[in-house]
Amino acid sequence: MKLLVILLFSGLILGCRGNSSYSLPPKLLLVSFDGFRADYLQNYEFPHLQNFIKEGVLVERVKNVFITKTFPNHYSIVTGLYEESHGIVANSMYDVITKRHFSDLNDKDPFWWNEAVPIWVTNQLQGNRSSAAAMWPGTDVPIHNTTPSYFMNYSSSVSFEERLNNITVWLSNSNPPVTFATLYWEEPDASGHRYGPEDKENMRRVLKGIDDLVGDLVYKLKTLGLWENLNVIITSDHGMTQCSQDRLINLDSCIRRSDYTVIDWTPVAAVLPKINRTEVYNTLKTCHPHLNVYLKEEIPARFHYQHNDRIPPLILVADEGWTIGRNKSSSKLGDHGYDNSLPSMHPFLAAHGPAFHKGYKHSTINIVDIYPMMCHILGLKPHPNNGTFGHTKCLLVDQWCINLPEAIGIVIGALLVLTMLTGLIIIMQKRYSVPHPFSRLQLQEDDDDPLIG
């Protein structure tokens, strides 16, 4: 009896402890390795990242948004919006009305960012929680008068180690607790531009470096006791494709420099005509077989890239691997920004933590689907967005999902089993059927017939 009481009592205590750890607010760390092309995962070795995936989930391909550039896609991840809706439509922009310029080195004016509300702002406004950022485009700008409670001013010269150190300190000792954090790293984008993704030898070395950083991240989180309760998403903004000196589109060969201004150059050029727009359009239209020229109102609907004042009256889109310029040479051997339906432009996503399944692989989601999933994990009410929460349900432990090929398999399997059972029942019935008790009687009646006749 005593033993029973002790067991019950200890069970009660354990139960309470379980509940209290369950009631801790969910935490999420969002990591971006810039320019991590989806198929690097298949073509190179990543022992640390593969360990992370083995215990978590992998989305092999993330369809990002047009234009496939850094600032626009990082803002789509944290807002769930297409570029025309969040307003960061390029790495370089010009606002015709206010005559303001935006570039990756001149990005601190909240004017450019205020068309959307990023998740780190929502996270701080919807509860007693903090956000922290070891860099991510926009995190050092007071968007809607709010920065993350903890952030670093952007500087590419700050080491990964220092960024990681800051993030782990903020995740460990903050009041109110940091429940959402970002960590950004410039590679493998910088090396992808320099060498081109087809330079296997250099990219192998660079990507091994990235994998080592993933190893450092996991080791540090485990050492500090943060690993078990923290959800970690590792993803990227875009891929990378091979460019060449032989694939240059020289605008000087088609049009006078005095007829237009270019705000953003390649592979999507934002053009402001200085003379009649139709004249510039007609001239550029026949400039080069690998140059696609669109009036703003003609931009294909699938790009979701039209309804914003910051999108210029004319855009030029180069075919994959081609570079738009005015000079006869280009130093870049790799680039991105191209059509977002190209596989080379797609990044991947991996995730680990209490919110995610273990060892689950998924083929594809959209980059705008990440935002509603993160809001769900953090228990936040999402702002209106272009993402679909349903696309990410299969990744999450608290959601029920149907994988279409699996579902079709189950239905076909069930139909086969049913058909076999029915067949078996029919055969058994035939084999063991006894003559009908009235059939003899019937026969007798029949037998009587001739007598009557």
Q: DSSP for 266-302, please give it.
A: SSEEEEEESS-HHHHHHHHHTS-TTEEEEEGGGS-GG
Least separation in angstroms between residue 34's CB and Zn ion is 4
From CA 188, how far away is CA 33, in angstroms rounded? 7
For Zn ion, give the closer residue by CB, 70 or 231: 70
Least separation in angstroms between residue 23's CB and Zn ion is 38
Report if residue 237 touches Zn ion, rule: CB under 5 A: yes
Residue from the set 30, 31, 32, 34 that interacts with Zn ion by CB under 5 A: 34
Report if residue 91 touches Zn ion, rule: CB under 5 A: no
Least separation in angstroms between residue 70's CB and Zn ion is 3
Least separation in angstroms between residue 336's CB and Zn ion is 7
Taking CB under 5 A as the binding criterion, the range among 10-18, 21-29, 35-43, 313-321 that sits at the site for Zn ion is 35-43
Report if residue 369 touches Zn ion, rule: CB under 5 A: no
- Amino acid letter for position 391: H
Contact 239, 347 (CB under 8 A): yes
Least separation in angstroms between residue 93's CB and Zn ion is 16
Among candidate residues 356, 347, 350, 359, the one with its CA nearest the CA of residue 395:
356
From CA 414, how far away is CA 409, in angstroms rounded? 9
Least separation in angstroms between residue 36's CB and Zn ion is 9
Residue from the set 83, 115, 189, 211 that interacts with Zn ion by CB under 5 A: 189
For Zn ion, give the closer residue by CB, 77 or 217: 77
SS3 202: helix
Among candidate residues 370, 267, 411, 414, the one with its CA nearest the CA of residue 28:
370
Among candidate residues 112, 107, 67, the one with its CA nearest the CA of residue 90:
67
For Zn ion, give the closer residue by CB, 349 or 396: 349
Least separation in angstroms between residue 87's CB and Zn ion is 18
Taking CB under 5 A as the binding criterion, the range among 66-74, 195-203, 303-311, 380-388 that sits at the site for Zn ion is 66-74
Taking CB under 5 A as the binding criterion, the range among 7-15, 32-40, 144-152, 207-215 that sits at the site for Zn ion is 32-40
Scan residues 290-329 and list those touching Zn ion (CB under 5 A): none
Contact 132, 151 (CB under 8 A): yes
SS3 254: coil
- The residue nearest Zn ion at its CB is 70
From CA 171, how far away is CA 27, in angstroms rounded? 9
Taking CB under 5 A as the binding criterion, the range among 70-78, 215-223, 377-385, 393-401 that sits at the site for Zn ion is 70-78
For Zn ion, give the closer residue by CB, 104 or 448: 104
Taking CB under 5 A as the binding criterion, the range among 2-10, 62-70, 146-154, 356-364 that sits at the site for Zn ion is 62-70
Tokens 């594809």 label which residue?
A: 364
Q: How many residues bind Zn ion (CB under 5 A)?
A: 5
Report if residue 84 touches Zn ion, rule: CB under 5 A: no
Report if residue 76 touches Zn ion, rule: CB under 5 A: no
- Amino acid letter for position 244: S
Q: Which of 70, 168, 182, 392 is catalytic?
A: 70
SS3 96: coil
Report if residue 83 touches Zn ion, rule: CB under 5 A: no
Catalytic residue flag (residue 70): yes
CA distances in angstroms from 42 to 32, 194, 196, 213, listed in the order given: 19, 21, 17, 19
At residue 84, what are phi and psi to the nearest 5 degrees? Answer: -60, -25
Report if residue 70 touches Zn ion, rule: CB under 5 A: yes
CA distances in angstroms from 337 to 38, 59, 238, listed in the order given: 15, 21, 8
For Zn ion, give the closer residue by CB, 35 or 87: 35
Whole-angstrom distance between the N-terminal and C-terminal Cα of the chain?
Answer: 92
For Zn ion, give the closer residue by CB, 79 or 231: 79
**Residues near Zn ion, by CB under 5 A:** 34-35, 70, 189, 237
Catalytically annotated residues: 70
